[in-house]
Amino acid sequence: MLGQLQRIGKALMLPIAVMPVAGLLLRLGQPDTLNIPFMAAAGNAVFNFLPLLFAIGIAVGFARNNHGLAGLAGFISYQILSWGAVAINKDNNLSYLGAIICGLLTGWLFNKFSEMKSRSRMLEYIGGGRGLAVILISILSIVLAIVAGLIWPYVQDLFNALGKWLGETGAIGAGFYGLFNRLLIPLGLHHVINTYIWFVYGTYHGPHGVVTGDLSRFFAGDPHAGGYMAGMFPIMMFGLPGAALAMILVAKPERRSVVAGVLGSAAFTAFLTGITEPIEFAFMFLAPVLFVFHAVLTGVSMFVCYALGIRDGFTFSAGVIDYVLNRNYATHGWWIIPIGLVFGVIYFVVFYFSIKAFDIKTPGREDEDASGPVGGGFILDEYQVAGDPEQRTDSATSAKANPMSVQAKGYVEALGGADNIVEVEACTTRLRLNLKDVSKLNEAQLKALGASGVIKLNQHNAQVVVGTIADTLVDEMKQHM
C-alpha cells in the first residue's frame, strides 16, 4: 500500500507543478503590480482548467515512464465522466475529486494493458496494448459517469460536511492540519492531504463561478480563504532557517565552513522558495524528537495565524517570493514577519541546546571514522572508468564537462546498480524508487553523493531526498541505465 501511495504522491505533484507559473502570471498581471490584463487572464485560464490538468497530469505521473498517451486518455476519461454525470444531474460538480479518480484510474489501466503484446490481428488494428488501454478507459469512464451521476450528490454532501466541520473547528483544525502535514513528510504523503485542503476544502461563489479549495479560493478573491496556508510562512521563512543556523554553529570547528555552505544554502532556499526538505532531512532521522517538535510547532504556527485572522496563500510554497507577490491578497499579512521572527528564535534555541545536550550527530558533528562529504559534493575520481591512462583521462574530461552524468552514475551504483532499479522517478526534491531489493541500497554512498536523507518504505520501495536537482538527476540516471 505504501508503494502505491508513494506513486500517488508523486503523480499529484505533476499538475501542482504548473501552479507557480499560473500564480506569477495572475499576480504580475494585477493592477497593483505590472497591470497587464492579458497576463492576469492567462493565469486565470490555468486556474479555471486546473481539474482538467489534474486528470491529465496524474494520469501521466502514475503511468510508467510518464507516457504522454496516458495524459490524453486521462483527458478523455475526465470529459466523459464530468459531462456524463452532469447530464444525469445538473448539480453534479466532480471538479478535482473526479479528476483525481480519472487520473489514477487511467494510469493504473495504462500500466496494466499498454505493454501487452499484439497476439491477434484485431489488437494490431486498434494500436496494440496502448490502444486497448485507451478504449477500456473510455468504456469504464462511461460506466463511472452513470454511477457518479446517481451517487455524486451524496459524495458532495459528504465533503461539504467535512469542509463545514473543518471550518467550525477553526484554529484547532488548522493546527492539526499543520501537525499531520509535517508528520507525513518522511513518507512523502503530505501531498495527499494537501490536495484536499488546497483544492477541495470550502466553497466560494466568485465572479468566475464556483471555486473550491483553500488555495484556489484565495486566488479567486475569497476573503475567508488562506487560513490553512498562512501558518506555513513563519515556519518555512524563519523557523527552519533558525534550526539550520543552530546546526551550523554546533558543528565541529574544522567542519563548520563546509556545513555552513550546505545548510546555509538550504536555509536560503527555504526562506526564498519554501523548499524545506534538505533541512528537515538533516535531523529527521538523527533526532526524531526534534522532528516531532518541528511538527508540533508547525501546528502551533497554523493555530496562531488562523486564530489571529491572518489569511495568506501561495502557489508553490510558503517562501518570501510568494509572500511578496501575494501581499495585497493577504489579510493581516504583515503579522507573519514578527510571528516568524519569534518562531526563528524558538527553533534556534531549542535546536542549539538540544543538539549540544544530547550530542546529536547532525551534519558536521559525526565521528571522524563515519564522516564523509557533508550534504553534497563527491569525489570525481571515484567514478572514472578503469582501463588504460588515456581512457581514464578521456573519461575525466567528459565527466568534468558534464558532472551531473558522473553523479548520476554514482547514484545508480549506490542503488545497487541498474539491474536493481525497477523504476526511478523524480518528485520535486526526491527520487521515488521501486527496487528489486532495497537491502542493496548503499545509504552511506548516497549521502556521500549529496543525498539529504534516505527512506526505506519496505523491501521494494524507497525514497532519496536529493534537493532541486531531482528531475535533472533522474534524466541522467535513465540515460546511464
In the set 240, 336, 427, 473, the catalytic residue is 427
Q: By C-alpha distance, which of 212, 288, 227 is closest to 51?
A: 212
Element (H, E) at 423: strand 421-427
Q: Is 305 a catalytic residue?
A: no
User: Which residue is listed with cell 504583515?
Assistant: 334
Distances (CA, A) of 221 to 48, 71, 241, 328: 14, 31, 31, 11
User: Which residue is listed with cell 527512506?
Assistant: 455
d(CA 13, CA 54): 9
Angle at 441 between CA 435 and CA 444, to 5 degrees: 155
| Residue 434 phi, psi dihedral angles, 5° rounding | -120, 110
Which long-range CB contacts under 8 A does 329-332 form with residues at least 24 apart?
329/27, 329/218, 329/219, 329/221, 329/226, 330/226, 330/230, 331/223, 331/226, 332/308
**All three cell numbers of 4:** 502505491
How long, in residues, is the chain? 481
Type of residue found at 99: A
The residues, any chain, with a CB within 8 Å of residue 330's CB and separated by 6 or more, are 226, 230, 310, 311, 312, 313
- Collapsing DSSP to helix, strand or coil, 5 comes out as helix
Which are the catalytic amino acids? Answer: 427
